[in-house]
């Protein structure tokens, strides 16, 4: 019953989202500086007013954030949480027919934990097993909603590409599978060939459809071409309807990818990981691609050695739009401190550092009109910290998405005992039933009197 | 030697099927399911059909009379998802949907000899690179062609009160087309098949083990299923255009995988968790195929019921209620969700009945009277009414498969499938006295132990847990 009520509550919550006023906080807007002792009015899921003085709407609930800090919800440009049944379709080098959208798992506890770390939006990517991976999309961490309820409405979908050791399978061409045939490609040359080949096919496929569309427009009768899900996704890339996120490490392969994109007339939206990005920052910026990297995570494989903690700052200074991502359910929970490291290594300002995990990833995902900074009219995706958010001492107190509180530290901590008790009750009940069924000796089923 | 004796005994048992011109069960309590219960009445079955039913029905002179005093007559039970009738199908049908689905991933053995041969040939076949290679698809297989009376499970299953099963091939992604099979012991398999095809069995778990080709992830399976239906529609468009005017048009190729999909009146999709139910219903809507879900472990959850109501799809609920695995690490604690599911799963049928969702129960490999009674009893103890329990094993599956005009209730003109018991059918002290299938009367293969033993059957212990352990 309690669960039913809870579900019901979550279901109706957005319809009549509470009006909130967050008061007396240090508001770090990211786009428009920091307001000491500022307030934010949240109404109908949007930010209605920001400033030192705001009008408090009637019926608004006051959240007193004295001595606390508010930042826009953190956006992780590279995550693999919240999926069912594997995030790699590793059986083929071009798996553009598969879609993360089909396997969203709203029950994944990593969503709640990310939320507790201040993340409100995450770009859920296919894995990096294939030169051309699966279709991807950003999700909002609306814990408690169903799969469809997590989808970031209206966001441009993406596709994952991958270069280097993973798609070439680092000298293990069967990917560890027994009795399996080796998969092409096994070298960086091969990866390039696979991507180029796929776009040759996609262009032929697009031409076929364009011809059909033209015939139809002229009013001629024609049977449409066969729809091919694998090439359809690449056709969307060629048409600019789908963003390309490229897993990459080495400078040479980054340049290679830029050449393929230029030849085929599409843009790389972001280079992911891009640990050697500082070497080719000028070229990345000239292509118009973003870069989503790690603060100081490297040396986990051969292509990830030539890395420096100054990568994010250096690329930023060369005019690349840079974000920091997690690629990991644990790292995802403290992206705020990852951003802070860019102040030490490279001397970014507070705003620049914070932008690495808020406004910049929003721009990379094409959702900056909705999220990424605290501005009037944007989604009320807000995180309240007890201390300076870029500090390792800061703890998330509350997280709002679309003006609804999805995480509240006080409720979480105070609710733990009750949850634990409820769980223990079920464990005890099960034990009891098992003992009854198996008899005191845990042996054969006891016979009853005939 | 023991095997031989058993086989001989079975032959004798087969021969015991009585085939009089008519059977009349009189003075029995009759639970018609479609209408009110007749406290004391008569059912007459002739030439395989129910000729008459009611309080004051005269007993025909040529009928074999069964004195029904103290007995209850029910419509024959229907197992809505099964592999019975396929001698080679040794393992039960399971609904494991995706890696996240906890438990129940039984490596299926080939469902039929034909499929076994096919599996053998796929070893040398090239690794599939994408949907166009049609991996793990035998959509054209009609299980009706593989049905045989030699399946040793027919007898014990019938003795538990089942007169019909929806028998499906289960190997692969598009496993093939099922049939409604009447559990008569016949040398002519054709006599056993009531309706074929009744639907395409689809699964999203790997049958071939680790390695191999596309697909290898849940999203791969879904993309594969989606592409095949896109291809089916395209195939149909081209074929129709060619049939209309073949002159000057390139001849379309014959594609048996797509023919198999076109032949199937509906699809069966696996879904246990609430999220899987929502996911599969969305997919079904996109595919525009009439759909039955199977599995249903989390249908006690309000959000699952909500999805089923929203899409109006029926669901087959497995009666193999989830249990804690016996050899788990005692220190390992399951998640709250898993604990809840194990605690509440048997309440699902009651929840579905109250919500007005169309559902049926299926045995999921439970094939002794004792185990089935216990499973149904558990659902009844957790809120399912006896009437709804009976319906979920008779008229509801008949409605779901569109055969309610011939089976599922005791009505004049329907097929003569009945089960006669002493006591309420779902009580654990109840004894099945007789089973009538297509008008042929069978006695249960052995006297079921009233209680205690774990559903003993006299056949070999391999398939069933015979005797006491």
DSSP B390-409: HHTTTHHHHHHTT-TTTSSS
Which percentage of chain A shows pLDDT scores above 90?
86
User: Which of A146, A422, A447 comes nearest B452 by C-beta?
Assistant: A447
pLDDT higher than 80, residue A180 = no
Please answer yes or no on whether A86 and B238 come within 8 Å at the CB atom.
no
User: Which of A85, A109, A177 comes nearest B211 by C-beta?
Assistant: A177
Show Cβ contacts of residue B38 under 8 Å, excluding neighbours closer than 6 positions: B29, B30, B32, B53, B54, B55
As a whole number, the mean pLDDT across chain A is 92
Residue B201 CA to residue B270 CA, distance in Å, equals: 9
* A 380-419 → B contacts, CB under 8 A: 419
Q: So what's the pLDDT on residue A3? A: 47
Find the distance separating the first CA and the last CA of chain B, reported in whole Å. 23
Show Cβ contacts of residue A368 under 8 Å, excluding neighbours closer than 6 positions: A359, A362
Please answer yes or no on whether B218 and A102 come within 8 Å at the CB atom.
yes
* Chain A residue whose CA is closest to B304: A146
Inter-residue contact B389 to B347 (CB < 8 Å):
no
* A 180-239 → B contacts, CB under 8 A: 180-181, 223-224, 226-230
**Rg (chain A; Cα; Å):** 25
Residue A196 CA to residue A239 CA, distance in Å, equals: 17
Q: So what's the pLDDT on residue B186? A: 84
Residue B127 CA to residue A225 CA, distance in Å, equals: 26
Query: Which residues in B lie closer than 8 A to residue A134 (C-beta atoms)?
Result: 219
Please answer yes or no on whether B219 and A427 come within 8 Å at the CB atom.
no
User: Which of A89, A97, A181 comes nearest B227 by C-beta?
Assistant: A97
Mean pLDDT within A207-224: 95
Q: So what's the pLDDT on residue A91? A: 86
Q: So what's the pLDDT on residue A174? A: 66
Which percentage of chain A shows pLDDT scores above 70?
91
Please answer yes or no on whether A91 and B214 come within 8 Å at the CB atom.
yes
Residue A198 CA to residue B12 CA, distance in Å, equals: 65
**A75 bridge partner residues:** A121
Q: Confirm or reject contact between B468 and chain A (CB < 8 A).
A: yes
Query: Which residues in A lie closer than 8 A to residue B231 (C-beta atoms)?
Result: 226
Probe site for chain A from B100, B129, B220 (most A CB atoms < 10 A): B220
Is beta strand A69-72 parallel, antiparallel or unpaired with respect to A61-64?
A: unpaired
| Domain layout of chain A by residue ranges | 1-73+373-436, 74-371
User: Which of B128, B211, B452 comes nearest A178 by C-beta?
Assistant: B211
Q: So what's the pLDDT on residue A16? A: 55
Inter-residue contact B182 to B192 (CB < 8 Å):
yes
Inter-residue contact B386 to B426 (CB < 8 Å):
yes
DSSP code of A104?
B
CA distances from A139 to A64, A112, A244, A360, A367 (A): 29, 13, 17, 17, 11
- Measure the CA angle with vertex B43, ends B39 and B49; round to 5°: 145
Q: Minimal CA–CA distance to B59: which of B76, B45, B71, B38?
A: B45
Which residue did the predictor score with more confidence, B105 or A379?
Answer: A379
Query: Which residues in B lie closer than 8 A to residue A95 (C-beta atoms)?
Result: 214, 220
Please answer yes or no on whether B337 and A107 come within 8 Å at the CB atom.
yes
Topology of the domain covering A74-371: TIM Barrel (3.20.20)
Element (H, E) at A422: helix A409-438
Whats the size of chain A, residue-wise?
450
Probe site for chain B from A98, A415, A430 (most B CB atoms < 10 A): A98
Probe site for chain A from B216, B278, B297 (most A CB atoms < 10 A): B216
Residue B296 CA, chain-centre distance (Å), reads: 14
Q: Confirm or reject contact between A179 and chain B (CB < 8 A).
A: yes
- Taking phi over 0 as left and psi of -120 to 50 as alpha, with beta for the rest, B218 belongs to alpha
User: Could you say which residues of chain B have pLDDT below 70?
Assistant: 1-18, 90-127, 206-212, 446-469
Q: So what's the pLDDT on residue A179? A: 63
Probe site for chain A from B173, B209, B221, B223 (most A CB atoms < 10 A): B223
Instruction: Name the least confident of A67-81, A339-353, B5-19, B155-169.
Output: B5-19
Q: How many CB pairs under 8 A join A and B?
A: 160
Mean pLDDT within A55-70: 96
Q: So what's the pLDDT on residue A9? A: 45
Neighbours of B301 (CB within 10 A): 23
Q: So what's the pLDDT on residue B111? A: 41
* Chain A residue whose CA is closest to B205: A85
* B 183-222 → A contacts, CB under 8 A: 204, 210-222
Residue A205 CA to residue A198 CA, distance in Å, equals: 10
A432: its two tokens = 């009891």
* B 312-331 → A contacts, CB under 8 A: 324
Residue B185 CA to residue B168 CA, distance in Å, equals: 19
Domains of chain B: 1-74+409-447 (2.30.40.10), 78-407 (3.20.20.140)
A1-73+373-436 classified as CATH 2.30.40.10: yes
Query: Which residues in A lie closer than 8 A to residue B213 (C-beta atoms)?
Result: 91-92
pTM: 0.89
* B 233-262 → A contacts, CB under 8 A: 234, 237-238, 241
Q: So what's the pLDDT on residue A171? A: 63
* Chain B residue whose CA is closest to A430: B343
CA of B133, closest CA in chain A: separation in Å? Answer: 12
Please answer yes or no on whether B212 and A430 come within 8 Å at the CB atom.
no
Helix axes A409-438, B336-344, angle to 10 degrees: 40
Query: Which residues in A lie closer than 8 A to residue B237 (C-beta atoms)?
Result: 223-224
Q: So what's the pLDDT on residue B430? A: 87
Neighbours of A2 (CB within 10 A): 7
Q: Is the dihedral of CA B204, B210, B214, B217 positive or negative?
A: positive
3-state secondary structure A54-92: CCCCCCCEEEECCCCEEEECEEEEEECCCECCCCCCCCC
Please answer yes or no on whether B99 and A89 come within 8 Å at the CB atom.
no
């Amino acid at each position: 019953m309690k669960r039913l009520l809870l579900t019901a509550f979550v279901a109706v919550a957005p319809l009549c989202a509470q009006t909130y006023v967050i008061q007396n906080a240090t508001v770090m807007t990211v786009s428009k500086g920091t307001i000491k002792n500022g307030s934010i009015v949240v109404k109908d899921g949007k930010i209605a007013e920001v400033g030192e003085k705001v009008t408090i709407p009637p019926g608004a609930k006051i959240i007193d954030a004295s001595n606390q800090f508010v930042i826009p919800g953190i956006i992780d440009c590279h995550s693999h949480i919240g999926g069912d049944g594997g995030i790699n379709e590793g059986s083929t080098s071009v798996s553009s027919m598969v879609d993360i959208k089909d396997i969203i798992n709203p029950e994944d506890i990593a969503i709640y934990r990310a939320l507790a770390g201040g993340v409100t939006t995450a770009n859920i990517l296919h894995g990096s097993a294939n030169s051309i991976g699966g279709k991807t999309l950003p999700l909002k961490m609306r814990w408690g909603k169903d799969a469809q309820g997590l989808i970031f409405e209206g966001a441009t979908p993406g596709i994952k590409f991958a270069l280097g050791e993973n798609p070439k399978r680092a000298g293990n061409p069967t990917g560890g599978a027994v009795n399996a045939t080796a998969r092409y490609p096994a070298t960086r040359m091969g990866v390039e060939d696979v991507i180029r080949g796929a776009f040759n096919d996609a262009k032929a496929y697009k031409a076929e459809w364009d011809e059909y569309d033209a015939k139809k427009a002229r009013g001629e009768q024609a049977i449409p071409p066969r729809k091919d899900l694998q090439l359809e996704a690449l056709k969307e890339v060629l048409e600019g309807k789908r963003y390309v996120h490229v897993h990459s490490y080495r400078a040479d392969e980054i340049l290679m990818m830029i050449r393929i994109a230029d030849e085929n007339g599409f843009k790389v939206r972001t280079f992911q990981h891009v640990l050697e990005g500082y070497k080719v920052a000028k070229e990345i910026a000239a292509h118009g691609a973003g870069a989503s990297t790690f603060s100081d995570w490297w040396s986990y494989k051969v292509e990830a050695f030539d890395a420096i903690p100054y990568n994010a700052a250096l690329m930023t200074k060369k005019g690349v739009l840079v974000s920091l991502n997690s690629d990991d359910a644990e790292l995802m929970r403290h992206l705020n401190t990852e951003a802070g490291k860019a102040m030490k290594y490279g001397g970014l300002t507070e705003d620049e550092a914070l932008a690495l995990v808020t406004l910049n990833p929003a721009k990379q995902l094409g959702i900056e009109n909705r999220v990424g900074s605290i501005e009037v009219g944007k989604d009320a995706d807000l995180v309240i910290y007890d201390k300076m958010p870029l500090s390792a001492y800061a703890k998330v107190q509350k997280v709002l998405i679309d003006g609804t509180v999805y995480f509240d530290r006080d409720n979480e901590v105070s609710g733990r005992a009750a949850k634990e008790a409820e769980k223990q009750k079920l464990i005890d009940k099960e034990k009891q039933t098992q003992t009854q069924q198996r008899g005191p000796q845990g042996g054969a089923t006891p016979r009853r009197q005939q | 030697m023991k095997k031989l004796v058993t086989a001989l005994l079975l032959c004798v048992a087969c021969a015991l099927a009585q085939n009089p011109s008519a059977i009349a069960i009189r003075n029995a309590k009759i639970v018609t399911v479609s209408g009110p219960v007749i406290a004391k009445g008569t059912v007459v079955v002739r030439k395989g059909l129910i000729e008459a039913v009611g309080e004051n029905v005269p007993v025909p002179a040529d009928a074999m009379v069964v004195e029904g005093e103290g007995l209850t007559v029910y419509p024959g039970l229907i197992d809505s998802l099964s592999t019975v009738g396929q001698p080679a199908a040794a393992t039960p049908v399971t609904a494991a949907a995706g890696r996240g689905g906890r438990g129940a991933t039984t490596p299926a053995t080939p469902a039929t000899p034909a499929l076994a041969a096919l599996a053998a040939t796929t070893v040398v076949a090239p690794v599939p690179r994408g949907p166009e290679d049609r991996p793990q698809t035998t959509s054209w297989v009609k299980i009706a062609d593989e049905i045989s009376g030699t399946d040793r499970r027919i007898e014990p299953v019938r003795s538990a009160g089942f007169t019909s099963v929806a028998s499906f091939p289960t190997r692969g992604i598009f496993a093939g087309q099922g049939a409604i099979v009447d559990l008569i012991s016949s040398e002519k398999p054709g006599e056993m098949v009531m309706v074929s095809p009744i639907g395409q069995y689809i699964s999203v778990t790997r049958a071939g083990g680790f390695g191999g080709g596309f697909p290898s992830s849940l999203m791969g399976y879904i993309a594969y299923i989606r592409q095949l239906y896109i291809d089916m529609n395209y195939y149909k468009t081209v074929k129709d255009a060619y049939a209309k005017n073949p002159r000057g048009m390139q001849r379309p190729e014959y594609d048996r995988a797509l023919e198999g999909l076109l032949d199937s009146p509906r699809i069966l999709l696996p879904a246990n968790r609430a999220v899987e139910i929502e996911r599969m219903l969305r997919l079904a809507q996109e595919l525009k195929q009439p759909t039955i879900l199977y599995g249903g472990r989390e249908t006690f959850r309000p959000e699952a019921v909500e999805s089923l109501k929203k899409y109006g799809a029926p669901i087959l609920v497995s009666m193999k209620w989830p249990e804690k695995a016996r050899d788990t690490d005692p220190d390992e604690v399951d998640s709250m969700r898993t604990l809840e599911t194990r605690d509440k799963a048997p309440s699902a049928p009651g929840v579905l009945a109250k919500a007005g969702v169309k559902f049926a129960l299926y045995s999921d490999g439970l094939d002794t009277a004792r185990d089935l009674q216990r499973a149904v009893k558990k659902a009844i103890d957790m809120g399912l009414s006896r009437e709804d329990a009976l319906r979920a094993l008779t008229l509801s599956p008949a409605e779901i498969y569109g055969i309610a005009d011939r089976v599922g209730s005791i009505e004049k003109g329907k097929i003569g499938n009945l089960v006669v018991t002493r006591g309420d059918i779902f009580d654990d002290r109840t004894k099945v006295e007789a089973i009538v299938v297509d008008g042929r009367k069978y006695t249960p293969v052995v006297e079921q132990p009233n209680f205690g033993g774990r559903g003993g059957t006299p056949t070999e212990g391999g398939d069933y847990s015979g005797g006491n352990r």
